[in-house]
Amino acid sequence: MKALFIHGKQDLRESNVETPEPGEGQVRLRMAFGGICGSDLHYYHEGANGAFVVREPLIPGHEMSGVVDHDPSGRLAPGTPVTLHPATFGDSQPGIEAMPHLWPNGAYLGSASTWPHTQGGMSEYLIVDAGMIRQLPEGLSLKRAALAEPLAVGLHGINIAGGVEGKRVLVCGSGPIGLLAAAAALAKGAAEVTATDVLEGPLERARELGVTRTLQIGVDELPAEAFDVVLECSGVPASIDGAITAVRRAGVIAQIGMMGAGPQPVSLAALISKEVQLRGCFRFNQEIDEAIELLATDERFDRVITHVLPATDAEAAFAAAKDSQASGKVLVELWPAEGQR
């Protein structure tokens, strides 16, 4: 089978490897689309994602869709369209039994955090545990289904925040996760959704989703104490400072954007005096099921996708995904079988 491998910094190669055979409790999928995530960009452009260095050739990709190729159990027929929950959960601990995404010693598709690395889904075929598979409802295209994983991240942030129905919501950062979080907030009944970014391109895409208003950081003034909930999607300390200013007293900030390791220069005095709740968000639990339901009924999510490039042009896809002025979500089309598109 064909697969894309990251060998190191800006070293992406298409290679032929043996097609894997599913074992007990596993299913082989024929992959269709893979979204390029921020972690994929780090692995490709830097050869590492934070402390996780590419030490062996790594197949990227955890935002996936495809069809069943072979299910030894016979439960899923060949050609069944699916997406994936990309996590393999680790060891349960007291107090977080219902939060498997927080259990230690887990793994995630396309990650160098484990040794050997956990290979991802940007390949012609992929073997996964049957429990990772989510069958798609009729009418949900494989292309849009590749948004299920990143949309689940946004939905998890909304759930961590306590919901957004009837609330004034600020989304900080209008990259792919911010756009999906904003679209999810609209779909979940927010009274208003304001989106911010430092660039005009992402803000234009946010307006296409139907947000209430957009604010360009460095140009427009961020109103103080104007929002009930902030979904912080950039992971930039200055943006967190802005979120603390913009959220109302006793409001909630859901920190969806990942921060770098080590100390961060965040001003906390106003957070304390306003009794603002800053809540961490890590990936998602089972919100991928809710994401699939939303994707099946709401075409606005298609507007988050700006580029679809074939696997034979994967380097161009990774370059496009790095250009946040020009791109939202970039998908790689993965040698799909006839009829998959």
One domain, residues 113 and 207: no
> Residue 190 has what DSSP assignment?
-
Tokens at residue 284, please?
A: 């998602």
Interior angle at CA 184, CA 81 and CA 154, nearest 5 = 80
* Cβ atoms of 149 and 329 closer than 8 Å: no
pLDDT exceeds cutoff 70 at 337: no
Span 13-39, pLDDT tens digits: 999 999 999 999 999 999 999 999 999
The pTM of the full predicted model, rounded to 2 decimals, is 0.96
Residue 88's identity, in one-letter code, is: T
One domain, residues 90 and 212: no
Span 132-142, pLDDT tens digits: 999 999 999 99
CATH code assigned at 273:
3.40.50.720
Residue-number span of the structural domain to which 29 is assigned? 2-135+298-333
Residue 17 lies in a domain: yes
Span 173-206, pLDDT tens digits: 999 999 999 999 999 999 999 999 999 999 999 9
One domain, residues 205 and 303: no
Span 54-91, pLDDT tens digits: 999 999 999 999 999 999 999 999 999 999 999 999 99
Distances (CA, A) of 316 to 309, 332, 336: 8, 10, 19
Other Cβ atoms less than 10 A from the Cβ of 300: the count is 14
- Return the pLDDT at 336: 65
One domain, residues 174 and 255: yes
Tokens at residue 331, please?
A: 């998908």
One domain, residues 223 and 305: no
Other Cβ atoms less than 10 A from the Cβ of 75: the count is 12
- Return the pLDDT at 51: 87
- Return the pLDDT at 265: 94
Tokens at residue 295, please?
A: 């994707």
Mean pLDDT value across residues 205-230: 98
One domain, residues 302 and 274: no
Closest by Cα among 319, 35, 321 to 152: 35
280 bridge partner residues: 255
Distances (CA, A) of 1 to 17, 44, 90, 124, 152: 5, 21, 29, 6, 30
pLDDT band of residue 262 (cuts 50, 70, 90) is: confident
pLDDT exceeds cutoff 70 at 299: yes
Residue 27 lies in a domain: yes
One domain, residues 47 and 106: yes
Omega prior to 336 cis, within 30 of 0? no
Span 83-118, pLDDT tens digits: 999 999 999 999 999 999 999 999 999 999 999 999
pLDDT exceeds cutoff 60 at 341: no
pLDDT exceeds cutoff 80 at 209: yes
Residue identified by tokens 């994929």 is 40
